[in-house]
């Protein structure tokens, strides 16, 4: 194929009049062919802006059909696509823009004034696209552009996208994702999750992230299915849409919100064949409640920015709560000792490493970081702690940096969190380590719930029956909610910063 990703995901739909984008409530549809024409016009605008194959385009725009077409246009033009979280501040955008050497930034018209000095400094062009995709200089240029664009020839190992990690420790790193990385993963997931042209996917995820952009979108396009493209997740509208869709991809928050609505039941979900969860751990309790309410077992999977998807619970077979399933076909996973790097027996906790066509090319302009995290053997050291059971199911225990070492003992937060989540009045929990003069670190349990419903003394006594003394939280605190990023992951670094503060009651 001249351009493997474009030809397989987009190009095969030329002339296809089936609906790619649909709104069952309003009756709006956009056919595959019309979306391809929009993408080609977008490629024309990108090329006319002076971008050549391999150049970088940064997009910090709201979720819309036209925003999705920027991704298609970049792939067709051979330009490297870099989507950014719309919540990033101008100073954060300045780092990404300067680090990747972007040639063009597309942003919301309301942000143009604050971002123009940054694009000027970094010699990048600036164009605008509104949240609805209908206004701004970029939208106007696409409307006027030719939809006849000759697809640029690219090789499987050529970069297709550059996604930056969250940067909770140190500088954000740009993960270089190739055409083969994205295409191979989409092909595997499409087959594994049995997507066909008969599917209609409720898509309420952001498209600046692997989950919403490369998993949800690429799988839909590859299978010829349809998308209900929601700007974000709104419970009332999502409940109304459920009878019209066959698949849902979401983060755990979606499912806990569904469960909070009394309308959400077996009858409402009878047209849905699959609910998929990822981007953050799904509580086993949520899994159990969901099945009891609907009869559906949520399919949990595991992936990273650098690897796309790594594992998945089976479509047919046991979807085991508390696990992320087995490695995807063609993907190798090994659990290794954090110190020696050697594989360890099933059941032991170690670092998850992954090798396969889904694994990224390396970090942009960071050869030392790349060398430190990508072994010569091709295994990527994820930094996630996990274990594999006798049946091959993998469980995520936490991040290596979340490991607590107290008095020389290793303490895995997940083990304590599972027990805390079972306590009366506790909705969810997070366990962190904070500095301690004698032990190095001490354990703090942060509990979500109403203070009058939670008896911390009783919880401590209960934990004492199940945990060794060195694992017991020295302090339990009650909060209204845990800090999370845009994909629903608990930001333990924020908790550590807060409760490690010497001015804090826990300092």
3-class DSSP state of 157: coil
Q: What is the mean pLDDT of the chain?
A: 92
pLDDT one-digit tens code per residue, 24-36: 999 999 999 999 9
pLDDT at residue 507, rounded to an integer: 32
DSSP labels, 119-156: HHHTT-EEEE--TTSSSSHHHHHHHHS-S--PPPP--T
Query: What value does the mean pLDDT take over residues 298-321?
Result: 95
Q: Is the whole model's pTM more than 0.75, yes or no? A: yes
Query: What value does the mean pLDDT take over residues 41-48?
Result: 98
Cα 284 from Cα 306, distance rounded (Å): 26
What domains does the chain contain, in order, with CATH numbers?
4-191 (3.40.50.12780), 233-399 (3.40.50.12780), 403-500 (3.30.300.30)
Query: What value does the mean pLDDT take over residues 289-294?
Result: 96
Distances (CA, A) of 380 to 357, 369, 385, 403: 12, 11, 13, 19
The CA radius of gyration of the chain, in Å to the nearest whole number, is 23
Look at 169 and 284; give whichever has higher pLDDT: 284
Res. 166 pLDDT band, cuts 50 70 90: low
pLDDT one-digit tens code per residue, 318-341: 999 989 999 999 999 999 998 889
Give Cα 309 to chain centroid, integer Å: 9
Res. 504 pLDDT band, cuts 50 70 90: very low
User: Residue 114: pLDDT above 50?
Assistant: yes
For residues 217-233, one letter each, b for 16 or more C-beta atoms within 10 angstroms of the residue's C-beta and e for the rest, the string is bbbbbbbbbbbbbbeeb
pLDDT one-digit tens code per residue, 342-366: 999 999 999 999 999 999 999 999 9
Look at 289 and 280; give whichever has higher pLDDT: 289
């Amino acid at each position: 194929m001249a351009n493997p990703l474009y030809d397989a995901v987009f190009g095969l739909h030329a002339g296809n009049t089936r609906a790619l984008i649909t709104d069952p409530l309003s009756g709006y549809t956009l056919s595959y062919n019309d979306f391809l024409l929009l993408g080609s016009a977008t490629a024309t605008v990108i090329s006319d802006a002076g971008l050549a194959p391999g150049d970088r385009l940064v997009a910090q725009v709201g979720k819309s059909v036209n925003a999705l077409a920027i991704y298609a246009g970049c792939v067709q033009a051979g330009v490297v696509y870099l989507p950014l979280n719309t919540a990033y501040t101008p100073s954060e955008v300045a780092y990404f823009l300067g680090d990747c050497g972007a040639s063009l930034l597309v942003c919301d018209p309301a942000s143009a004034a604050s971002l123009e000095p940054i694009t000027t400094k970094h010699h990048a062009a600036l164009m605008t696209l509104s949240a609805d995709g209908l206004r701004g200089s970029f939208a106007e240029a696409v409307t006027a552009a030719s939809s006849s664009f000759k697809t640029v020839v690219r090789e499987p190992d050529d970069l297709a996208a550059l996604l930056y990690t969250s940067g909770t420790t140190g500088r954000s790193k740009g993960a270089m994702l190739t055409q083969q990385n994205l295409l191979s993963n989409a092909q595997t997931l499409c087959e594994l999750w049995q997507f066909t042209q008969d599917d209609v996917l409720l898509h309420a995820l952001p498209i600046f992230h692997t989950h919403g952009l490369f998993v949800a979108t690429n799988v839909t396009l590859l299978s010829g299915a349809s998308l209900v493209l929601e700007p974000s997740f709104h419970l009332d509208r999502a409940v109304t849409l459920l009878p019209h869709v066959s698949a849902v991809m979401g983060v755990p928050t979606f499912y806990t919100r569904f469960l909070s609505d009394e309308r959400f039941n077996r009858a409402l979900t009878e047209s849905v064949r699959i609910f998929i969860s990822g981007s953050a751990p799904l509580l086993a309790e949520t899994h159990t409640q969901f099945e009891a309410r609907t009869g559906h077992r949520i399919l949990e999977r595991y992936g990273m920015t650098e690897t796309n998807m790594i594992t998945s619970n089976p479509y047919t077979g046991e979807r085991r709560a508390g696990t992320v399933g087995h490695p995807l076909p063609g993907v190798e996973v090994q659990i290794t000792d954090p110190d020696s790097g050697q594989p360890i027996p099933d059941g032991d906790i170690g670092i998850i490493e992954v090798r396969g066509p889904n694994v990224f090319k390396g970090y942009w302009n960071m050869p030392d970081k790349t060398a430190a995290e990508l072994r010569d053997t091709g295994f990527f050291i994820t930094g996630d702690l996990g274990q594999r059971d006798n049946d091959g199911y993998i469980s995520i225990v936490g991040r290596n940096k979340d490991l607590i070492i107290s008095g020389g003992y290793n303490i895995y937060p997940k083990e304590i969190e599972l027990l805390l989540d079972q306590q009366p009045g506790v909705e969810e929990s997070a366990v962190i380590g904070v500095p301690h003069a004698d032990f190095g670190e001490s354990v703090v349990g942060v509990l979500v719930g109403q203070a009058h419903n939670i008896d911390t003394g009783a919880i401590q006594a209960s934990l004492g029956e199940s945990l060794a003394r060195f694992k017991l939280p020295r302090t339990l605190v009650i909060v209204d909610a845990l800090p999370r990023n845009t994909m629903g992951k608990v930001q333990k670094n924020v908790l550590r910063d807060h409760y490690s503060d010497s001015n804090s009651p826990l300092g």
